[in-house]
Amino acid sequence: MTSENSSKMDGDSELRTILGDQVNRLLADQVSKDVLESAEEGASQAELWQAIEENGLPRVLVPEDQGGVGGGWDEAEVVIRAAGKYLAPLPLTESILAGWLLSNAGLDMPAGSLSVAPVRANEALTITKDGGGYHVAGEATRVPWARNVEHIAVAGGCEGVAHIALVPAAAWSVTLEDANIAAEPRDSLRFDGEAIAAAPLPDSINPDRLFAFAAMARACQIAGALERALELTVQYANERSQFGTLIGKFQAVQQELARMAGEVAAAGAAVENASRAADRKGSKAGFEMATAKIRASEAATIVASIAHQTHGAMGHTYEHPLHFVTRRLWSWRSEFGSENYWAEELGRSLARKGGQALWSYLVDRT
């Protein structure tokens, strides 16, 4: 390793540490149970968003010369995981994705929260040149936080080339207000209006992989929420007594907590590996990104189940904070592709390489 590369790695590690400390302190202090309850009732989170924006967190993947933090996916992972751990009730992850898409297309990221569209692999939007500008048309379903944002970064084809467009709220209409079971907005939209700006994606980013990057980001959120579920469950097991003994002392409970911790660790390792692979390989890290979403979504099911089994009836009450975590786990595990979707995609991809090439391909992933 050259001294230049070593210095770069040290710098990246320092930035990741700084961002991690910053975002964890901020969200731990500001996202309370009251905030989560008010968000579910539709209350504005403008004050929380202002604090997040002042710290530059939505711009973690935007280069410094474009007004961003200048981090990579390894740095974004620690921010997105914290958003998942503290259940931040606003589109921080989606804004990070939007900033990454816009900056890669050479477009400026506006102030305020953003979302991305489309968010389903089988949906497509059309971007056409309209005089000196661009027109965006089509329909997209389950767009995260659409009713709460002023801009959406739209991916679509324009004359056979993948483009990214920055679309203002005036260019879309909500055809269905919906939400996931965590009460996070997931609206259906019809686009039919002018974009503020649009530009082609660089050749280094495969448009077919955009969905995988989004899946990796959601997996990072899941990894954070898994950590929170484990913390709540261990705390409860060490406080709740049954037959005069803390339930955490029972071997059966300890065994399930150990299994839970293993799932949390495995999901965390998968998302860290994927984010670092995304920095090294870009769009060619599809294997790692798919693996991260598969592993995190599988862990979400197992961890949520153990958490509720350990908490018993208490964990099903609205007063206890566990449901804020598990409802997000159950929602996020299927967004941007479920574990079944990505397992099938990964299987087809490996099968196309043939048996002779499989081993060398897997070895090259390290």
Specify the pLDDT at position 63: 97
Instruction: Give phi and psi for 118, each to the nearest 5.
Output: -80, 165
* pLDDT at residue 6, rounded to an integer: 40
Which pLDDT belongs to residue 12?
57
Last residue of a domain, one of 200, 216, 245: 200
Residue ranges for the chain with pLDDT beneath 70: 1-12, 366
Task: Measure CA 267 to chain center.
Answer: 13
CATH number assigned to the domain comprising residue 26: 2.40.110.10
Please tell me whether residues 111 and 192 are part of one structural domain: yes
Residue environment code for 236-256, b if the CB has 16+ CB neighbours within 10 A, otherwise e: bbeebeeeeeebbeeeebeeb
Q: What is the per-residue pLDDT for 5?
A: 40
HSE value, Cβ hemisphere, 13 Å, CA-based, for 356: 0
Query: How far is the CA of 67 from the CAs of 99, 108, 199, 203, 255, in angstroms?
Result: 11, 9, 18, 23, 49
Whether 226 and 350 map to the same domain: the answer is yes
Instruction: Determine how many CB atoms are found less than 10 A away from the CB of residue 268.
Output: 23
Domain CATH code at residue 324:
1.20.140.10
My answer on whether 150 and 269 are in the same domain is: no
Residues 123 and 224 in one domain: no
pLDDT of residue 2: 38
Distance, in Å, from the CA atom of 327 to the CA atom of 304, rounded to the nearest integer, reads: 9
- Is residue 50 helix, strand or coil? helix
Asked if 183 and 242 sit in the same domain, the reply is no
Q: Are residues 163 and 20 in the same domain?
A: yes
Q: What is the pLDDT of residue 353?
A: 84
Q: Which residues contact 364 (CB under 8 A, 6 or more apart)?
A: none
Q: Could you tell me if 119 and 192 lie in one domain? A: yes
Residue ending a domain, choose from 136, 170, 200: 200
220-233 confidence digits (pLDDT tens) = 999 999 999 999 99
Work out how many domains the chain is built from and give that number: 2
Cβ count near 284 (within 10 Å): 13
Same domain, 142 and 49: yes
Which residue, 200, 219, 242, sits at the end of a domain?
Answer: 200
Do 238 and 194 share a structural domain? no
Is 35 in a helix, a strand, or coil? helix
Asked if residue 128 and residue 61 are part of one domain, the reply reads yes
What's the domain range around 326? 207-363
Regarding whether 169 and 141 lie in a shared domain, the answer is yes
- Residue 151 pairs in a beta bridge with 114, 168
Shared domain for 214 and 249, answered yes or no, is: yes
